[in-house]
Chains A and B, each alone.
Chain A
Amino acid sequence: MPAHSQKPEDEHDDPLQAVILTDCHENRFMPLTMQTPRCLLNLANIPLIDYTLHFLASAGVEHVYIVTSHFHEEVESHLETAGWNNDNSHFSRIECIRSQSESVGGVMRDLDQYGVLKNDFVVVYGDLISNLPLEEALSAHKKRREADKDAIMTMVLRESGTGSDSRREKAPVFVIDPKNDRCVHYEDMSPDKKEHFVSLDPDLLHDHQDMDIRADLIDCEVDIYTPDVLALWTDNFDFQTARQNFLYSVLKDYELNGKKIFTHVTTDYYAARARNLREYDTISKAIIERWVYPWTPDNNLCFGYNYQMTKGFRYKELDVRLARSCQIGPKTMIGNDTSAGEGTVIIGSVVGRRCIIGNNVTIENAYIWDDTVIRDGSHIKQAIVAKGCTIGKKCIIEPGALIATGVQVADNTTVKSSSRLTCIKRKRDDSGDFEPVTTDTKVVGVGGKGTEYSPDPDDEDEEDASLPHGLVYNLSHLTFSTESFSDPDDSFSDTSDIDPSQGRRNSTAGSIISLASDDDTSASERKSEIAFHNEAVAQLTDSLAKGDASDNMQLELTSLRMVTQASEHAMRRAIVASFMRHISSLVSDGTSIASAVTSTIKPHQALLNRNIFDKEKASKVDQVDLLLLLQSDLSKRLDGDAILLRVTHELVNLDVVEAEGIEQWWNDERSVASKEVTRLREKTRQLVDYLLRDSSEDEDDEDEDESD
């Protein structure tokens, strides 16, 4: 969508370009992001992307490319209404690019193909909030670039200083040569890792006299790229993430590619990304407390706002109607056309536009978005109530609750602190459409509308969604698996709420924890395993749908595995998950189970075989593992038992799994660990019985001993 057909007046030889990645391929704001992309969520009553655009505009960026995926139209129409792409915009070009890619790597490769980025450009995410001036970083970058063609990238980092927030999601470790700010090594160190160490290449010590090893840098992923970087992404088709994959590998392979990456560390200014609700909360407060000046509400940077500030960080728009006895506490923001009744107390909260707040309502540290109605006597604390909700009389919304768009809570209802209420859900078919949920009166009361949000079990990506609890400081209600938290100390439990792996682990405890056989794997390894899993499954499912050759799939999988150092178990898990997903989607399209299974597994027999390494051994650990994975995966799916039977049969037929493997699996106690899995395998009993009879003639039993 070229925003401007002709604008010769603005065309410089080398306009500064920028790319905004709006889809971060994670869904931590669910169910708030069900129908709105994250970058359009309101933060302090202004859509997140507007902050990012202002950041770029203030840095002198002229061309902006916004990469969107699911919510292309929404983003475009926002740009239209907010006046970003009219003729008088600060950007001479602003363009939305739709990308179907599931990862940053994919987006970068798409951009490379798109071929519009000819100059150096800035890459940011659509949830960046910062008042950093980029001028210095840009000119330093340019100077290095002129001196050295291989200086391909500059990362802008913010020093966190003393007393920094220990609850960071990741603690990236940058090893920097202080002489020329070159980054020589990067590692993602999770705060939950037991051993805190960085493994440095001895050559580095030889090449660099000084090295700063810094874990105190906040990485908001503001990068200055040269077009070469895109080419590098394209060359390395297995790179998925910007830091863990790309940065780590490029630095590691310096000998090979000779590319240099630099850092620009600032000690002042604000920079943060609203990556999760926890950060959403912190950033909202920072904006209200003017840490992000001049990005303050009363500067009314965006068109159509008219906030004014009075003492104590109270911001109000012009037309706010407050009853005489209504108390507005400090650090509060109230939008236009909102009214609050007698005796109502609003403290430390952000209230959107056109809200109607009744009498004697208490709103404390909460975020109330536009068009919401809160009736008399309700209490809301540390919660988010999205657009167009209705909260009945005398309701209590406990800290941490999330109420998504359109939910109606009936009178006298208590919304529990861990609730995430929604009134729509994604349709089961992959159309991406939404349908209304059946109201659960236990949750929203009689006469309400909405139900508890449950992450789609099919969609691994959405499992991050269990993080919204990040809004709440007290996390005691979260039950963490003891496996991953064997010795929680204070700082550790602090970090837990925002770590994706834990969050995920929580929601899928049944499938992952119970089958994870290696207790000693540290949590961070698991995290990378999960990252691997998500990527691998996405890749494989894609390839299956496209009908790629088995060899290519293996190649991709292997390269991905190399990057993340995933275990064989993880490989198998990814394969199982993607194959089963493919099969069940075929089945739901009307294919018979038998043919779905055959058509999926048969062509990829080799792929499966290559991940089974115990054909020669007596104890068939790998085969058992594969079958257990199958079992647990299918326990969540429709007709799982029938599919299991077919798949097992097929595997035996193709000799991927031997009869001994089946037998060991059948006798393994993990295969009857829960009611569900036991029920699931009942249909397969016949087959197993038949196979057992078959094999028992020449085989001695060696079961039981392989379990851990």
Chain B
Amino acid sequence: MPGKGFRTPGLESFVDNLDEFKLERSTEVLIQLLARRQISGSKNCAIAVAGLLLRIVQDSPANSVQDLLDQVSQIGQRLIAAQPRELAVGNIVRRVLGLIREVSGIGQDDEIRSELSSMLDGQDGLNRPEMLHSISTYSPLRHAASEFTGASTPESPQPIKRPNFAQSGYSSFAMPSTKTAMNLFGLLAEPSYSPTGTPPITNRESPALSTKNLNIIQEQASIKETIQEIGDGMRELLDEVDLAAEQISESATDYINSNDMIMAQGLSDTTHKFLAEAARKRKFTVFVVEGEPNEGQATRNMILYGSAKSPSDDDGQEGTTKRLVDLGVNVVLIPDSAIFAIMSTVTKVLLAPQAVLANGGLVANVGTSMIAAAAQAHKVPVLALSGVYKLSPLYPLDTDELREIGSASGLGGSVGSWGKVNVMNPMWDYVEPEKVNLYITNLGGHAPSYLYRIVADHYDKEDINLGTDM
């Protein structure tokens, strides 16, 4: 008889089986889980993808970094194709690719680097990096092509020392509490130019390679070391994803004042933590917008039980987090239709994006656009809470394509209406950058217009068009 109990596949079972299954099977399983939406939400997707890629890197039989890059980008493209609208998947893949390039030192674009170094030299704030001079022609759906081309890699990469971001004076990277661990580039800046980071097949002329006495054994060892480093970097990335919400909440008291009237779109994990942290020092009121039809139940449960799932009758387990009401917050649940009416009394709006785009726009649960518009009309500041892992290097050229159209039965269709009534249930909304005042990330607060810069810092230009038909 079953002892372990039946478990529906999801993030939990995937992570548990990750070490057990063969790599190819894990990949296949993750693709299916993403496609079946059994892993959804940017955080879950990010954790799953990072977990898989970490395994790839660790198990990699690749005897060159280039092989590893190819492998990661190939699997990455399949993952992106499985759920092209979940931008976190692509973000993680791109960041891992960037990390591999970073550690191994291949694929660096001299143009950028020279520009960066010139900037560093002159400390000229107006001289901006031009990492995104080719704007991605983003179309998530175009990812769905079943054939994949390997990531394009430059023919002859020029080895130029990557500037050490940790020292470069970018305020956004220097989170006091977590030092360089915050940022993977900063973290990796130090070892990135060790002589061991030499891929055998690239004909780069680094001083290390040009010394002819490197033999094959050393090369193998160096790859091992490189992979070790990449693995470390990826674990940092996983930590970043995991801790983003907490790190964001650390700055809560900077943004929330006593007697604030805050409107929150749903109570996501991040929003909840943020408000809970603020509640320790401040007294304020939160109007929680229900977020029907897709998020309504989760929002209500979050308010009532402190967890998105209602404590099912069998385990009777209370949510691990404390409810906001218990923390002394005055919580008011309002239906989506009351947004505009309430907005006049609100002092701040908190959004919880699903993804943030390079132009400063965001994608969030449906209804967010309405809140943002109402806030704009009432001149209420809009804050968006988002981990950096949600920040995508893509530009929204077709905002329709960003939207996931969900289940028609989500709107409570009965059997009788199957096939008779047309029901549209878009799950997400796109909010233009003009409607957002401030992004609060784990790196601090940024204006929407500044996001391109963070994008440039976190993604390698090579990878931005990953998976698109370029």
B308 to chain A, nearest CB (A): 16
Q: Which of A9, A146, A308 contacts B21 (CB 8 A)?
A: A9
Q: Are B417 and A59 interface neighbours, CB within 8 A?
A: no
Q: Which of B24, B417, B422 contacts A87 (CB 8 A)?
A: B24
Known A-B contacts A60-B9, A88-B22, A133-B8; the reply to A269 vs B409 at CB < 8 A is yes
Q: Does A160 contact B (CB under 8 A)?
A: yes
Q: Are B417 and A163 interface neighbours, CB within 8 A?
A: yes
Known A-B contacts A57-B9, A57-B32; the reply to A289 vs B423 at CB < 8 A is yes
Q: Are B35 and A270 interface neighbours, CB within 8 A?
A: no
Q: Are A60 and B1 interface neighbours, CB within 8 A?
A: no
Proximity bits, B16-33, A CB within 8 Å = 1, else 0? 000011101101110010
Complex interface: chain B residues within 8 A of A693 (CB): none
Query: Once A and B bind, how many residue pairs between them come within 8 Å at the CB atom?
Result: 152
Complex interface: chain B residues within 8 A of A491 (CB): none
Q: Which residue of A lies closest to B406 (CB)?
A: A293
Proximity bits, B400-435, A CB within 8 Å = 1, else 0? 100001111110011111110011010000000000
Q: Does A429 contact B (CB under 8 A)?
A: no
Q: Are B414 and A164 interface neighbours, CB within 8 A?
A: yes
Q: Does A562 contact B (CB under 8 A)?
A: no
Give residues of chain B (376-396) contacting chain A, Cβ–Cβ below 8 Å: none
Q: Are A58 and B8 interface neighbours, CB within 8 A?
A: yes
Q: Are B405 and A60 interface neighbours, CB within 8 A?
A: no
B426 to chain A, nearest CB (A): 11
Q: Are A143 and B36 interface neighbours, CB within 8 A?
A: no
A330 to chain B, nearest CB (A): 8
Binding stretch for chain B, among A101-109, A134-142, A461-469, A548-556:
A134-142
Binding stretch for chain A, among B50-58, B130-138, B141-149, B214-222:
B141-149
Q: Are B9 and A58 interface neighbours, CB within 8 A?
A: yes
Q: Which of B314, B410, B414 contacts A162 (CB 8 A)?
A: B414
Q: Are B406 and A290 interface neighbours, CB within 8 A?
A: yes
Q: Are B4 and A12 interface neighbours, CB within 8 A?
A: yes
A56 to chain B, nearest CB (A): 11
Q: Are B1 and A290 interface neighbours, CB within 8 A?
A: no
Q: Does B179 contact A (CB under 8 A)?
A: no
Bound Cα distance from A13 to B1, whole angstroms: 9
Complex interface: chain B residues within 8 A of A286 (CB): 418-419
Proximity bits, A286-305, B CB within 8 Å = 1, else 0? 10011111101011110111
Complex interface: chain B residues within 8 A of A145 (CB): 1
Q: Are B409 and A165 interface neighbours, CB within 8 A?
A: no
Q: Are A138 and B6 interface neighbours, CB within 8 A?
A: yes
Q: Which of B22, B400, B419 contacts A311 (CB 8 A)?
A: B400
Bound Cα distance from A594 to B39, whole angstroms: 71
Q: Which of B9, B25, B407 contacts A88 (CB 8 A)?
A: B25
Q: Which of A90, A139, A289 contacts B29 (CB 8 A)?
A: A90
Q: Are A291 and B28 interface neighbours, CB within 8 A?
A: no
A53 to chain B, nearest CB (A): 11
A11 to chain B, nearest CB (A): 10
Known A-B contacts A87-B22, A143-B314, A318-B145; the reply to A294 vs B27 at CB < 8 A is no
Interface centre among B6, B145, B413, B425 (most CB of A within 10 A): B6
Q: Does A158 contact B (CB under 8 A)?
A: yes
Q: Does A14 contact B (CB under 8 A)?
A: yes
Bound Cα distance from A9 to B425, whole angstroms: 41
B187 to chain A, nearest CB (A): 34
A90 to chain B, nearest CB (A): 6
Q: Are B1 and A161 interface neighbours, CB within 8 A?
A: no
Complex interface: chain A residues within 8 A of B280 (CB): none
Q: Are B409 and A13 interface neighbours, CB within 8 A?
A: no
Q: Does B128 contact A (CB under 8 A)?
A: no
Q: Are B38 and A88 interface neighbours, CB within 8 A?
A: no
A287 to chain B, nearest CB (A): 9
Q: Does A669 contact B (CB under 8 A)?
A: no
Complex interface: chain B residues within 8 A of A218 (CB): 415
A436 to chain B, nearest CB (A): 36
Bound Cα distance from A131 to B415, whole angstroms: 14
Number of interface residues of B (CB under 8 A): 46
Give the size range of A's interface with the partner: 35 or more
Bound Cα distance from A16 to B21, whole angstroms: 17
Q: Are A13 and B8 interface neighbours, CB within 8 A?
A: no
Q: Which residue of B lies closest to A282 (CB)?
A: B419
Q: Are A142 and B409 interface neighbours, CB within 8 A?
A: no
Q: Does B13 contact A (CB under 8 A)?
A: yes
Q: Does B7 contact A (CB under 8 A)?
A: yes
Q: Are B141 and A293 interface neighbours, CB within 8 A?
A: no
Q: Does A285 contact B (CB under 8 A)?
A: yes
Q: Which of A88, A139, A268, A290 contacts B24 (CB 8 A)?
A: A88
Q: Are A58 and B36 interface neighbours, CB within 8 A?
A: yes
Q: Does B316 contact A (CB under 8 A)?
A: no
Known A-B contacts A139-B6, A290-B407, A291-B407; the reply to A9 vs B22 at CB < 8 A is yes
Bound Cα distance from A135 to B417, whole angstroms: 26
Q: Which of A13, A139, A296, A299 contacts B314 (CB 8 A)?
A: A139
Bound Cα distance from A133 to B309, whole angstroms: 15
Q: Are B408 and A16 interface neighbours, CB within 8 A?
A: no
Bound Cα distance from A101 to B400, whole angstroms: 52
A218 to chain B, nearest CB (A): 6
Q: Which of B144, B145, B415, B419 contacts A164 (CB 8 A)?
A: B415
Complex interface: chain B residues within 8 A of A54 (CB): 36
A138 to chain B, nearest CB (A): 4
Complex interface: chain B residues within 8 A of A16 (CB): 2, 6
Q: Does A694 contact B (CB under 8 A)?
A: no
Known A-B contacts A90-B28, A301-B35; the reply to A60 vs B417 at CB < 8 A is no
Known A-B contacts A88-B27, A143-B314; the reply to A14 vs B415 at CB < 8 A is no
Complex interface: chain A residues within 8 A of B2 (CB): 14, 16, 119-120, 142
Complex interface: chain B residues within 8 A of A285 (CB): 418-419
A518 to chain B, nearest CB (A): 36
Complex interface: chain B residues within 8 A of A58 (CB): 8-9, 36, 38
Q: Which residue of B lies closest to A9 (CB)?
A: B20
Q: Which of B4, B7, B36, B418 contacts A301 (CB 8 A)?
A: B36
Bound Cα distance from A298 to B32, whole angstroms: 14
Complex interface: chain A residues within 8 A of B22 (CB): 9, 87-88
Q: Are B409 and A268 interface neighbours, CB within 8 A?
A: yes
Q: Does A418 contact B (CB under 8 A)?
A: no
Q: Which residue of B lies closest to A287 (CB)?
A: B419
Complex interface: chain A residues within 8 A of B415 (CB): 158-161, 163-165, 218
Known A-B contacts A88-B24, A291-B413, A306-B146; the reply to A282 vs B418 at CB < 8 A is yes
Bound Cα distance from A358 to B144, whole angstroms: 28
A71 to chain B, nearest CB (A): 26
Q: Does B37 contact A (CB under 8 A)?
A: yes
Q: Are A10 and B409 interface neighbours, CB within 8 A?
A: no
Interface centre among B5, B13, B20 (most CB of A within 10 A): B5
Q: Does B61 contact A (CB under 8 A)?
A: no
Q: Are A60 and B146 interface neighbours, CB within 8 A?
A: no
Q: Which of A119, A134, A269 contacts B8 (CB 8 A)?
A: A134
Q: Does B3 contact A (CB under 8 A)?
A: yes
Bound Cα distance from A214 to B242, whole angstroms: 48
Interface centre among B20, B21, B407 (most CB of A within 10 A): B407
Complex interface: chain A residues within 8 A of B406 (CB): 290, 293
Q: Does A89 contact B (CB under 8 A)?
A: yes
A39 to chain B, nearest CB (A): 20
Bound Cα distance from A138 to B416, whole angstroms: 27
The 7 closest A-B pairs by CB, nearest first: A163-B416, A161-B414, A293-B407, A285-B419, A88-B28, A138-B6, A160-B415
Which A residues form the contact surface with B (CB < 8 A)? 9-10, 12-14, 16, 54, 57-60, 87-90, 119-120, 131, 133-135, 138-139, 142-143, 145-146, 158-165, 218, 268-270, 272, 282, 285-286, 289-294, 296, 298-301, 303-309, 311, 313, 318
Q: A57-B32, A158-B415, A161-B414 known; 9 other A-B pairs, CB under 8 Å?
A: A9-B22, A14-B1, A14-B3, A88-B25, A135-B6, A282-B419, A285-B419, A286-B419, A309-B405
* 11 CB-based A-B contacts, threshold 8 Å: A12-B4, A60-B7, A88-B29, A89-B25, A138-B6, A139-B6, A160-B414, A293-B405, A306-B144, A308-B144, A311-B400
